[in-house]
Amino acid sequence: MNEEPNPNPEPNKLESAGVTMLWLILGFVPSMVGILVIDKASQTVLVALMCLAGVCCFASAFGILRRIKDLVARICLSIFLAGALAFLDLIIVVFVGCSRMGPM
């Protein structure tokens, strides 16, 4: 009989948490860019920022939920999570923009 325990093919928990955190940070990149360009915002810059927000939020949502095996559930949850991330990005940029208004 073999007395050695069977190797467990568990993924490294720390590595998994770190990668998930990087995906989450990617979701907030549009708000960081928006804060930097809020003073020079033209219509073209705003459209580019909206496109960047859409791409980053959807990529972040799919990356965060990559471990869900059911494809339909992953897509539905990713759409919801991407919308929530985009809403949070919008709120952050609006609050920062409003805090810069007023007498300087």
Q: Whole-model pTM?
A: 0.76
For position 97, what pLDDT does the model report? 79
Confidence class for position 50, pLDDT limits 50, 70, 90: confident
- Using alpha carbons, select from 89, 67, 62, 88 the residue that is nearest to residue 77: 62
* Residue matched to tokens 């494809």: 71
For position 6, what pLDDT does the model report? 62
CB atoms within 10 A of CB 95: 12
